[in-house]
Amino acid sequence: MRLVKRPRLVNRILAVIAVTAALSSCSLNTDIGGPTAIVILNGQNQTAATSTTLPTAFTVVVVGSFNVPMPDQPVTWTIVAPGTGSLSTASSVTDQDGIASTTYTTGSTAGTVQIQASSPSLDPVLFYVTVQ
């Protein structure tokens, strides 16, 4: 039996065909699915006098897998402790960048106030405000 040497070009073509065949059977799933987290962007740890609107709005972003911003997600804003003051909105929907915000006006009582931002099936986040 006589061995026949294949030209280099034929070997390269066969290698390309093998790699192409291997890659065509692979897939990358980049489906971000639903929201995975709500994250504070701005407004944390502010201090203000009583009956004052804070200078910086509370801002969050809702993200999915790979930290991709999720638009059109509901966000509920709640004063949880001690319960004084007012929010510009009790609920909002994230914009195309996954961002939602509200402003807070302090109440007439000094102390630390907690404002919660939540979105369905996600762990809520808390903003802290010191009212003087």
Give the tens place of pLDDT for each residue, 49-87.
999 999 999 999 999 999 999 999 999 999 998 878 999
Span 45-49, average pLDDT: 97
Per-residue model confidence (pLDDT) at position 107: 96
Looking at residue 130, its amino acid is T
Span 16-33, average pLDDT: 58
Pick the CATH number of 37-131 from 3.30.830.10, 2.60.40.10, 2.30.30.30, 2.40.30.10: 2.60.40.10
CA–CA distance, 99 with 43 (Å, rounded to integer): 13
pLDDT at 14 over 90: no
Per-residue model confidence (pLDDT) at position 87: 98
Per-residue model confidence (pLDDT) at position 8: 67
Span 16-25, average pLDDT: 55
Residues ≥6 apart with Cβ < 8 Å to 65: 31, 32, 33, 36
CA–CA distance, 33 with 64 (Å, rounded to integer): 7
The residue ranking higher by pLDDT, 30 or 117, is 117
Per-residue model confidence (pLDDT) at position 124: 98
Span 27-50, average pLDDT: 87
pLDDT at 22 over 60: no
Of the candidates 88, 60, 87, 85, which has an alpha carbon nearest to the alpha carbon of residue 75?
A: 60
